[in-house]
């Protein structure tokens, strides 16, 4: 017989859930001995809590029998008052052990969350640029946030609710069979079984609705983040109503899913109440009949009621816990799927650090494609000698920015090799490669922090004097000093409080503070006005002194002084030489130069 799609999906969900639990389990039993001791003590306190909880109703029964003079055998020959005190003490001890359990386990759970969150954060940073380009940052953040919260829930409630509840039910069933008879056990077991079957079945249905609700939540969150990050663009095009409509459409989908979730919650609560109360009334009726027949005492009637009430509370909670555990498994599954995402760019086992002697860069027949059907670079070969400044120019889509990304190893070449001082960059560690290259991108993105923080980001533990020296070299120190708060000035979200030229000079200062032997300038002045461009050119010229500089250029006026200029066209080098040589040859470079002069004059 062929399995139905729903059955197949349910089986896959169960396998996925078990996989998540296996992934989480090591965090409950870490290598640190003191944490393992805490786990053992917390579990011991938990077992004591449940043993006391099961014994407590026996004190209650004996106290009632003693008061009713009903022939019951008092526990430990205590009187009614003594039994009542013992009952109160047992309840107090139960609460005490619960609090001790929570106290002991707090460090375990919080450390587990911290380790898992750190692992996820590091893994996200280890993923390739290709991955980050194709994923939505807002949705990625929500996956991580919900996944970590799901682990917190799972660690606490699977360990302290499901297991302990099963233990308590087994002990209660044993006592019920011993004190009463098998009929009570049948009713109890039937009630529990029907309750659990109903809860699990309806919860599976609710989980599907919650998945839809999560997707809509991610979409709404992403639209809100995108709109707020592009606040200026929204204003430029008067698109506030359009953005509000897009956000409202996503929230409408979330609203619909949330309403269905609320309806399903009412349905499951009503069903659970009916099952529990039918079971409770059935047991109470049987006990009442036994008392009337003289088979049981009034204390027995009270005790069976106490046990049923004691079980009903966690059973009601079980419905909530199971629903939340299923949702937590979904959330955690998304996070662990993220952790299972392989890093496209990895270090070879035992890879040595890059040794930079002169800073010579070689591209040897480099081929590369973002997608298999469209090749970007088609056998590009050139050399940048140590200390030289070489510029790469070409029309949009020619592949010039791709060269910079390959040099920094955001991607690996699909053919040929990129070498620094004779070393294939795929054979050395990424950390050492990144340390050797300073990058000034076209659009310098700043952290929402102070100017000092953003410049000092170039080198860990940089002093204030180091920061100021880098700022002077980038020709921005005087501007910073003129600000009321100086280096403590906050730059705003993505640096929006600074102009394009100011942001770019902060980026140059940051790269200079890093003090790398190789400098990559990726269209560093293409978005600036002419006056600002001239100021930045001076800063970039000084930044390149004594370094190997590879410039990806859009505006040709910024690279006229380069030692050599390479012209790319459709992923191939069509000509190269100095500025004067290329103009004299009247080839592709001369065409681009003449066109740019005409555009500037217009």
CA-to-CA distance for 341 and 350, rounded, in angstroms?
22
Predicted local confidence at residue 425, as pLDDT? 93
Contacts 24+ apart (CB under 8 A), 475-480: 475/505, 475/535, 475/538, 475/539, 476/502, 476/505, 476/506, 476/508, 476/509, 476/539, 479/505, 480/451
pLDDT in tens, 156-196: 676 666 677 777 778 888 887 777 778 888 888 888 888 88
Per-residue pLDDT averaged across 463-473, rounded?
A: 89
Query: Residues 6 or more apart from 312 whose CB is under 8 A from it?
Result: 276, 280
pLDDT above 60: residue 314? yes
pLDDT in tens, 398-442: 888 889 889 988 888 999 999 999 999 999 998 899 889 988 887
Residue 336: both structure tokens together? 């662990």
Residue 537: both structure tokens together? 């050119």
pLDDT above 70: residue 586? yes
Per-residue pLDDT averaged across 510-522, rounded?
A: 87
Task: Return the number of other C-beta atoms located less than 10 Å from residue 315's C-beta.
Answer: 21
pLDDT above 80: residue 303? yes
b/e 194-203 (16+ beta carbons within 10 angstroms → b):
bbeebbeebb
Q: What pTM was computed for the model? A: 0.61
Residue 564's pLDDT band (cuts 50, 70, 90): very high
**Does residue 475 or residue 379 have the better pLDDT?**
379
Which of 57, 66, 54, 55 shows the shortest CA–CA distance to 297?
A: 66
**Does residue 137 or residue 235 have the better pLDDT?**
235
Predicted local confidence at residue 273, as pLDDT? 84
Per-residue pLDDT averaged across 341-345, rounded?
A: 73
Residue 514 in contact with residue 462, Cβ under 8 Å? no
CA-to-CA distance for 204 and 325, rounded, in angstroms?
11
Predicted local confidence at residue 2, as pLDDT? 46
pLDDT above 50: residue 5? no
Query: Residues 6 or more apart from 593 whose CB is under 8 A from it?
Result: 556, 582, 583
Per-residue pLDDT averaged across 58-70, rounded?
A: 74
Residue 128 in contact with residue 345, Cβ under 8 Å? yes
b/e 252-288 (16+ beta carbons within 10 angstroms → b):
ebbeebbebeeebbeebeebbeebbeebbebbeebbe
Report for 284-293, 355-364, 393-402: range of highest mean pLDDT: 355-364
Question: Which helix H or strand E contains 437, and what residues bound it?
Answer: strand 437-440
Predicted local confidence at residue 1, as pLDDT? 43
Task: Return the number of other C-beta atoms located less than 10 Å from residue 311's C-beta.
Answer: 23
Predicted local confidence at residue 428, as pLDDT? 93
CA-to-CA distance for 66 and 81, rounded, in angstroms?
9
pLDDT above 60: residue 231? yes
Whole-number percent of the chain with pLDDT over 90: 11
Residue 445's pLDDT band (cuts 50, 70, 90): confident
Domains of the chain (ranges, CATH numbers): 25-340 (1.20.1560.10), 361-581 (3.40.50.300)
Mean per-residue pLDDT of the chain: 79
| Exposed/middle/buried for residue 78 (C-beta within 10 Å: 0-12, 13-18, 19+) | middle
CA-to-CA distance for 570 and 395, rounded, in angstroms?
9
Predicted local confidence at residue 126, as pLDDT? 67
In what side-by-side order are the strands of the sheet with 361-368? Answer: 377-384, 361-368, 415-420, 423-424
Residue 135's pLDDT band (cuts 50, 70, 90): low
CA-to-CA distance for 174 and 187, rounded, in angstroms?
14
**Does residue 443 or residue 418 have the better pLDDT?**
418
pLDDT above 80: residue 494? no
Predicted local confidence at residue 497, as pLDDT? 74
């Amino acid at each position: 017989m062929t399995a139905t799609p729903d059955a197949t999906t349910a089986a896959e969900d169960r396998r996925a859930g078990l996989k998540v639990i296996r992934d989480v389990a090591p965090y409950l039993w870490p290598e640190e001995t003191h944490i393992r001791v805490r786990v053992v003590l917390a579990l011991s306190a938990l077992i004591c809590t449940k043993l006391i909880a099961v014994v407590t109703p026996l004190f209650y029964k004996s106290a009632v029998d003693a008061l009713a003079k009903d022939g019951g055998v008092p526990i430990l020959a205590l009187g009614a008052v003594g039994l009542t005190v013992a009952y109160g003490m047992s309840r107090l001890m139960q609460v005490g052990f619960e609090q001790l359990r929570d106290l002991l386990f707090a460090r375990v759970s919080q450390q587990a969350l911290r380790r898992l969150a750190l692992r996820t954060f590091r893994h996200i940073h280890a993923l390739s640029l290709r991955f980050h380009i194709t994923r939505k940052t807002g949705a990625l953040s929500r996956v991580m946030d919900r996944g970590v919260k799901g682990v917190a829930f799972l660690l606490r409630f699977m360990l302290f609710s499901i297991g302990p509840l099963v233990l308590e039910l087994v002990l209660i069933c044993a006592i019920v069979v011993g004190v009463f008879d098998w009929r009570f056990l049948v009713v109890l077991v039937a009630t529990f079984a029907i309750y659990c079957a109903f809860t699990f079945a309806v919860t599976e249905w609710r989980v599907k609705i919650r998945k839809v609700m999560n997707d809509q939540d991610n979409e709404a969150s992403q639209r809100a983040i995108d709109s707020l990050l592009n606040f200026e663009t929204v204003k430029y095009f008067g698109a506030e109503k359009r953005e509000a409509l897009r956000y409202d459409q996503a929230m409408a989908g979330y609203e619909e899913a949330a309403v269905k979730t609320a309806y399903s919650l009412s349905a499951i609560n009503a069903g659970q109440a009916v099952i529990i109360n039918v079971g409770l009334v059935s047991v109470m009726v049987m006990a009442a009949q036994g008392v009337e027949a003289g088979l049981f005492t009034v204390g027995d009637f009270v005790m069976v009621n106490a046990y049923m009430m004691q079980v009903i509370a966690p059973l009601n909670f079980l419905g909530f816990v199971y629903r939340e555990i299923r949702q937590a498994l979904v959330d955690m599954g998304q996070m662990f799927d993220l952790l299972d995402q392989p890093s496209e760019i990895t270090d070879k086992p035992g890879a040595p650090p890059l040794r930079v002697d002169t800073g010579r860069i070689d591209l040897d027949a480099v081929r590369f494609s973002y997608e298999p059907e469209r090749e970007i670079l088609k056998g590009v070969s050139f050399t940048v000698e140590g200390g030289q400044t070489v510029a790469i120019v070409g029309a949009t889509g020619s592949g010039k920015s791709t060269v910079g990304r390959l040099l920094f190893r955001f991607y690996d070449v699909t053919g040929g090799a990129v070498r620094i001082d004779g070393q294939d960059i795929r054979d050395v560690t990424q950390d050492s490669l990144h340390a050797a290259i300073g990058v000034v991108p076209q659009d310098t993105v700043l952290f929402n922090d102070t100017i000092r923080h953003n410049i000092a980001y170039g080198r860990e533990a940089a002093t204030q004097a180091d920061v100021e020296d880098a700022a002077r070299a980038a020709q921005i120190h005087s501007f910073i000093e003129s600000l009321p708060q100086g280096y403590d000035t906050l730059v705003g979200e993505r640096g929006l409080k600074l102009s394009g030229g100011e942001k770019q000079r902060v980026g140059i200062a940051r790269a200079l503070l890093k003090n790398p032997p190789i400098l990559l300038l990726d269209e560093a002045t293409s978005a600036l006005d002419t006056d600002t461009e001239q100021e930045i050119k001076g800063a970039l010229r000084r930044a390149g002194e004594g370094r190997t500089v590879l410039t990806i250029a859009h505006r040709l006026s910024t690279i006229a002084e380069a030692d050599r200029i390479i012209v790319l066209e459709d992923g191939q080098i069509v000509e190269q030489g100095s500025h004067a040589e290329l103009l004299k040859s009247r080839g592709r470079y001369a065409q681009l130069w003449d066109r740019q002069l005409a555009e500037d004059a217009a």
